Copies of this chain bind each other. A is one copy, B any other.
Amino acid sequence: MTAPLKHRTLSAAIVDRLRQAILAGTYPAGSQLRQDAMAETYGVSRIPVREALFQLEAEGFVRIVPHKGAIVSELSLDEINDVFDLRCLLEPRLLSQSAPRFSASDFAALDAIQARFETAIAAGDVGQWGVINAEFHMALYTKARQPRTQSIVAALLQTSDRYTRLQLSNTAAMGIAEQEHAELIRQCRAGRFTEAAAFLVGHIEAVRADLLRVVARSGAAGGATNSRSVALE
């Protein structure tokens, strides 16, 4: 069951594996992840598994209760809205700072990502869609000198991906996203930065609306009305 596993450390490899598995729904929200089972599944000891779980907790994918274990975190409606609100707030800000500093090589990188995006969509590879989408967005913000915001947005994109997978196979939406990405590149090339930022908000809102529509219809998203906000401190 375990493939190449070619990362720098086992822990990092397990993080990727587990994250993909959670994103793909292999471990549904609410299920418990036992260290022993994970260790055996991936053919490693429990130490790297533990470290991976801690990492995933920091990323918000699982919740760890001392002496009880790790549980795949639930997806609440409150958090969906919060995540997309944050994206609408932070991403345009990053783009405004970053886009005016783009060089030719930056645009080339964007084009390259966009190309891979198209092939992934053509192949209907939902798994790749999310990671390439995140790559594209982050590439838009490389030139922004806001390191903290960048790492926060990177995490938000991963969470978004997790939600978006709920509506799997919605290839129509994927195609729209692709066209909007192309439009973003065009506007940045033309130097229309404020317009691009506004367009970006629309792009994010479109994804959110699409997601909420599916969630509402299927009654998914465990603990919907139940706004169980994490106790801080």
Q: Is the CB of A145 within 8 A of B47?
A: no
Assuming the contacts A9-B66, A66-B9, asked whether A232 and B151 have C-beta atoms less than 8 A apart, the reply is yes
> Does A8 lie at the interface of the complex (its beta carbon under 8 Å from any beta carbon of B)?
yes
Which residues A1-21 have CB closer than 8 A to chain B?
8-9, 12
> CB-CB < 8 A to A135: which residues of B?
233
Q: Which residue of B lies closest to A229 (CB)?
A: B147
Main secondary structure of the interface of A (DSSP, over half): helix
How long is the Cα–Cα vector from A142 to B229 in the complex, in angstroms?
A: 9
How long is the Cα–Cα vector from A128 to B54 in the complex, in angstroms?
A: 28
> CB-CB < 8 A to A86: which residues of B?
148-149, 152
How long is the Cα–Cα vector from A31 to B150 in the complex, in angstroms?
A: 25
Q: What is the size, in residues, of chain A's interface with B at 8 Å between Cβ atoms?
A: 41
A227 CB, nearest partner CB in chain B, Å: 5
How long is the Cα–Cα vector from A50 to B51 in the complex, in angstroms?
A: 9
> CB-CB < 8 A to A145: which residues of B?
78, 82, 227, 229
> Does A166 lie at the interface of the complex (its beta carbon under 8 Å from any beta carbon of B)?
no
> Does A126 lie at the interface of the complex (its beta carbon under 8 Å from any beta carbon of B)?
no
Interface string of A79-109 (1 = CB under 8 A from B): 1001101100110010000000000000000
> CB-CB < 8 A to A146: which residues of B?
78, 82, 85, 229
Interface string of A31-60 (1 = CB under 8 A from B): 000000000000000010011001100101
